[in-house]
Structure 1
Amino acid sequence: MTDSKAVDPKVKNIIFDWGKTFHDFDLDVHFNWLSRVFGIPRHHFWHIFSQYPNGLIFPYERGLSTRRFIERFREESAKLCVGRKISVPSFSDEEFVERWNMIIDPSPPAKERVSLLRKLKGGGYGIYFLSNTNQAHAAHIRGDSRRGNRFSRFKEVINLADRFFGSSDTDIRCRKVKPSQATKPECEKIFRKVLAKIGALPGECVFIDDTQEYIAVFQGMGGRGIHCTGNWTKIEYELYHAGVRWD
């Protein structure tokens, strides 16, 4: 094990991705519901939501309102129904959002991950989340006051974090993007915005994400990166060897 003298005083902040890194999600949960409601196979909805670059998820994660997101889905799904000569089903905006939020794993956050956040916080590190996420999911994770903070299982996590940065936040409104999909300035834009908000240099931060391409962008800016493969013992090991200490 590395000696404790190897602590790196330059590392001051840990930035975690959310989905598939800190907590899981499953888009198929929503696609399954749509398939039942519309009575057609779920794969017909993939291009409407997730086909890059025109899927509705991408502008939604850059700040498109939930109301407009649902309106655009109704417009696109109506075309799908006309093409298949089936009736457009009826569902409320509230039901759509409730089903949309079911994408997020309903389990409580993993205890050992919350424990690590506590220890890092106790060690004086800044704790941040940076997620490609939309208005509804960001509200769901933070605890939407308009719904009486009904979604509270992440309360401790959000309180431990200095901030949860959502790509759809009004002062962010840009996504993490892969170098194969955008120019270097476009790829770096969200990181530069977040670093400015934190008041930190790239080299003062460790960024943890399940997407290697996003990590490569941050490393190219002079930051440190850890690829999350699902094993948090590995993440703790790599944090330790990056000079981060908690106990």
Structure 2
Amino acid sequence: MKNHPEIQFLIFDLGNVIYDIDYQRTFNKLYAQLPEEKHPLVRDFMVSPVHFDLETGKIDAPTFRDGVRDYFSVDWEDNWIDEAWNSLLVDIPQERLDLLLKLKEKYPLYMLSNTNSIHFKIVEQIFAQKLPEAAWPTLFDHLFLSHKMGLRKPGEDIYRQVVNTIGAKPETCLFFDDLKENLLGAEKVGIKTCHIDHPKALINFFGNV
């Protein structure tokens, strides 16, 4: 990396950095199934304990689905809950996958994501489908996933665990995320950061790799 010769390790958030997501798609599915007086509950659900507990692995998928039913006072089936929950996952643009494959030739790559078991099952399927055969398991040197680690961004502990596991000095790591608060958390432990603030930002950052 011409402008960052000190960087040795690349760490990528998942949502809206690699994988396009759109929360409104999930919101719309929920709105369509709820009376209008319950609509304010939809956005609040994203910061509810049941959501955060799934993201940190404190509860499993069946418990989460029961939590959704309790939260909205509904009797939705498991499959419908998963469909609504996964509808926010849009797609991985091929140009980003191509970029990662090129970067893999020069750098160790890591993923650091606030995610959950329901979403990540689909994420893995899409990576496997869109990458060359057998490339998915080795694309990233390590997957740092909140539901596996019991920690979430932007808490400093998750970043400390990342650099400790990599065995790197924080200043030799560059972290890409679309949320400024997550970047601030990383900066507090000395990790270099880059804000991904539009769909072409990652591609533009690296230019011709």
TM-score, normalised by the number of residues in structure 1: 0.72
Give the letter for the 1:12 counterpart. Answer: Q
Corresponding residue for 2:42? 45
Instruction: Give the root-mean-square deviation of aligned CA atoms.
Output: 2.6
Aligned to 1:164: 143
Which string of whole-angstrom CA distances, capped at 9 and with x for unpartnered residues, describes residues 125-182 of structure 1?
1111111111111222123xxxxxx88445557442223321101xx111002xxxxx
Q: Partner of 2:72 in structure 1?
A: 77
Counterparts in 2 of 1:1-247, with a 5 A limit? 8=5, 10-40=6-36, 42-47=39-44, 49-51=45-47, 54-63=48-57, 64-78=59-73, 88=74, 90-105=75-90, 107=91, 109-123=92-106, 125-143=107-125, 152-153=128-129, 155=131, 158-159=136-137, 160-169=139-148, 172-177=149-154, 187-232=155-200, 234-235=201-202, 238=205, 247=209
CA distance in 1: counterparts of 2:105 and 2:96, whole angstroms: 14
Count of residue pairs the alignment pairs up = 204
Q: Structure 1: where are the runs of 5+ without partners?
A: 79-87, 144-149, 178-186, 241-245
Residue type at the aligned position of 1:34: L
- The whole-number CA distance in structure 1 between the counterparts of 2:145 and 2:188 is 22
Aligned to 1:226, the other structure's residue is in SS state: strand
Maintained 8 Å contact 1:208/1:226: yes
Counterpart-to-counterpart distance in 2, 1:75 and 1:102 = 21
CA 1:95–1:203 in structure 2 vs 1: closer, same or farther (change >3 Å)?
A: same
Q: Retained in 2: the 8 A contact 1:158–1:164?
A: no
Q: Distance in 2 between matches of 1:37 and 1:231?
A: 31
Secondary structure of the corresponding residue to residue 75 of structure 1: helix
Report if aligned partners of 1:133, 1:166 keep a CA contact under 8 Å in 2: yes
Residue 137 of structure 1: SS of its match in structure 2? helix
Greater Rg over alpha carbons, structure: 1
Amino acid at match of 1:60: L
Percent of aligned pairs with the same residue? 28
Structure 1 residue identity aligned to 2:52:
F
Return the letter of the residue paired with 1:174: L
Give the direction of change, closer, same or farther, for the CA distance of 1:37–1:236 in structure 2 (3 Å limit): closer
| Change over 3 Å in CA distance of 1:44–1:215 after alignment to 2 | closer
**TM-score normalised by the chain length of structure 2:** 0.84
Local SS of the residue matching 2:89: coil
